[in-house]
Chain A
């Protein structure tokens, strides 16, 4: 149950687009479309932003989008805004019927 691999940090200027990668294996990301992304602001509980690779819950801005290719999933934030500054985590269902998270990525808006 090794954690999914995410970059520790990503930054961008307001209005720009950034992409966070999430690399797993053929036992998790590569075999299921149950990849999710969560946003967490300091001191707050995580919030679901993307589920099933590319779907947004109602109320989540369409500036957030997800995709997947082979063992790597990605989260793209378009039109970066100050409020997007937070930690982001990916997760995936696994062939052991468990869940694995990525190590998290700190997004900084310059």
Chain B
């Protein structure tokens, strides 16, 4: 069955960087678009970024553009989110999700369980 397992979360100081990873299994990873979504404590879902199946295109929410970078390694079935210049407001559970399509954001078909990032001094 489809599994998405996020890792890399933890406590980080403001201004520092952190890289999240999402290990995928149970499907052809290189055939689907992949997303990152976050949820601050007690708040709603916030979409962050998408990367198409072949890495040809990446799109970001304005709130993280220039600070966060989405990438993938299809040979390792792994999705990444490089986060820099972290702020307290980046504190959230970060989810990776697989799209229904490969090159258009149709629907977030499968979700991981999330990894908590806490930005605090």
Nearest-neighbor residue (CB-CB) of A49 within chain B: B107
**Contact (Cβ within 8 A) B109 A99:** no
Give the contact stretch, choosing among A9-17, A68-76, A100-108: A100-108
For residue A93, which residues in chain B have a CB less than 8 angstroms away from its CB?
104-106
**Contact (Cβ within 8 A) B60 A98:** yes
In the complex the two chains form, what is the Cα distance from A57 to B98 in whole Å? 14
B100 on interface, CB distance cutoff 8 Å: yes
Q: Mark A75-101, 1 if CB is under 8 A from B, else 0.
A: 000000000000101010100111111
With A1-B62, A98-B59, A99-B35 in contact, is A48–B44 under 8 Å at CB?
A: no
**Contact (Cβ within 8 A) B112 A98:** no
A64 on interface, CB distance cutoff 8 Å: no
| 86-121 of chain B: CB within 8 A of chain A | 95, 100, 104-114
B17 on interface, CB distance cutoff 8 Å: no
Nearest-neighbor residue (CB-CB) of A35 within chain B: B107
Nearest-neighbor residue (CB-CB) of B45 within chain A: A101
* Chain A interface (Cβ < 8 Å from any Cβ of B): 1, 3, 34, 36, 38, 40, 45-48, 51-52, 57, 87, 89, 91, 93, 96-104
Question: Would you give 15 A-B contacts (Cβ < 8 Å), ordered by A?
Answer: A1-B61, A34-B105, A45-B113, A46-B37, A46-B95, A48-B109, A91-B45, A93-B104, A97-B59, A97-B105, A98-B59, A98-B60, A99-B35, A101-B37, A101-B44
* Chain B interface (Cβ < 8 Å from any Cβ of A): 35, 37, 44-47, 50, 57, 59-63, 95, 100, 104-114
